[in-house]
Amino acid sequence: MSYSSELKQHLQTLGFKKECCMLACSAGYDGEPFEKGCDRCLGCFLRGVFFRYGYLTPPEKDALLTFDFYDDYAFYVQEVLQEAGFDAKVTSRRGKKLIYLKKSESVSDIVSLMGATKYSLKIMEVQVDKQVRGELNRMVNAETANLNRTAGASAKQLAAIAKLREAKKLSTLSEELILAAEMREAHPEANLEELRFYFDPPISKSGLNHRLRKLIELAEECN
């Protein structure tokens, strides 16, 4: 059984508290306008429309609620949805008129209006989970990029220091540059923010960066 069929089966088990709600549901199923007798009528009308014309993707996929029509009833349902605050779009596909809603919040709200609260909560639960996983992935990617940049910069600095030592010029440099070279060699994996605290007293990040860049420039002059 598809997820959409499972939802329809669940909706069929729900009763109606008022006759106007039952009539609204019947109007939606029969493709007719409905009269709002109480606050629940809109949801019952949409329930009837969904029974006959609707399809809902499983929550694990991108949220998508659609209604397929063969006539202009699509525009009436679109108007009802828009008046209720939903951004319902109408398009044509294979001779049919298709209403679709893609935003998870809108899909969840409509499913809730129809009376299927647990399905509505599941849609939002999955959406929140996707957002959390997406944010976590962005954080991991950003951290990986930072580590790669740090590793690349450190490798370039270490190569410059090795070149200066091989050319017997490292020992001729200023005490500040020699100390910066020693600290970089002692802590090759540290970024600038971490490395500056190995100095006693700690130096500024910009000051450390200047020293390391100077080492690279001096190494390039050895060519």
**Residue 120 covered by a domain:** no
The CA distance from 51 to 9, in Å, is 9
User: 146 and 212 share a domain?
Assistant: yes
User: 13 and 78 share a domain?
Assistant: yes
When divided into structural domains, the chain yields a total of 2
User: 35 and 75 share a domain?
Assistant: yes
Query: Could you report the per-residue pLDDT of 176-193, keeping only the tens digit for each?
Result: 999 999 999 999 988 988
Query: Could you report the per-residue pLDDT of 103-147, keeping only the tens digit for each?
Result: 888 888 898 888 888 888 887 787 777 777 878 888 888 778 887
Q: Which domain holds residue 168?
A: 132-220
**pLDDT tens for each residue of the chain, 223 residues long:** 688 888 888 888 888 889 999 999 999 999 999 888 898 999 999 999 999 999 988 877 776 888 999 888 999 999 999 998 988 888 887 888 889 888 888 888 898 888 888 888 887 787 777 777 878 888 888 778 887 888 888 889 998 899 888 888 888 889 999 999 999 999 998 898 899 999 989 999 998 999 999 989 998 888 6
Among residues 82, 115, 148, the one where a domain terminates is: 115
**Residue 124 covered by a domain:** no
**Residue 27 covered by a domain:** yes
User: 109 and 136 share a domain?
Assistant: no
**Residue 151 covered by a domain:** yes
